[in-house]
Amino acid sequence: MASEAGVLGLAAQPTGLKVKGSSSVVKVGTKVKNIRLVEGDHDIDCKVDGIGTMQLKSEFVKKV
């Protein structure tokens, strides 16, 4: 299942979500593209403007 664009809502991270291996932080309300649900350790594949491709765990995301 994929969609064109969406808004990332971080549930329990008021300062944003730190990107592993980088000094970047993804802020609450960041727009993401190419959202895909996948199986494995991380549940969501997406593309974040300014950062690139990311894999997210669903526990950090809420529907907005």
Architecture of 2-62 per CATH? Roll (2.30)
Count of Cβ atoms closer than 10 Å to residue 48 Cβ = 19
Confidence at residue 56, expressed as pLDDT on a 0 to 100 scale: 85
β-bridge mates for residue 52, sequence order: 48
Give residue-wise pLDDT tens across range 21-35.
Answer: 888 888 877 778 888
pLDDT band at 2 (very low <50, low <70, confident <90, very high): low
Confidence at residue 8, expressed as pLDDT on a 0 to 100 scale: 59
Largest CA distance in the chain: 30
Is the pTM value of this prediction over 0.85? no
Describe the chain by its helix, strand, coil percentages, rounded to 5: 5, 50, 45
Confidence at residue 27, expressed as pLDDT on a 0 to 100 scale: 81
Confidence at residue 38, expressed as pLDDT on a 0 to 100 scale: 92
pLDDT mean over 40-49: 87
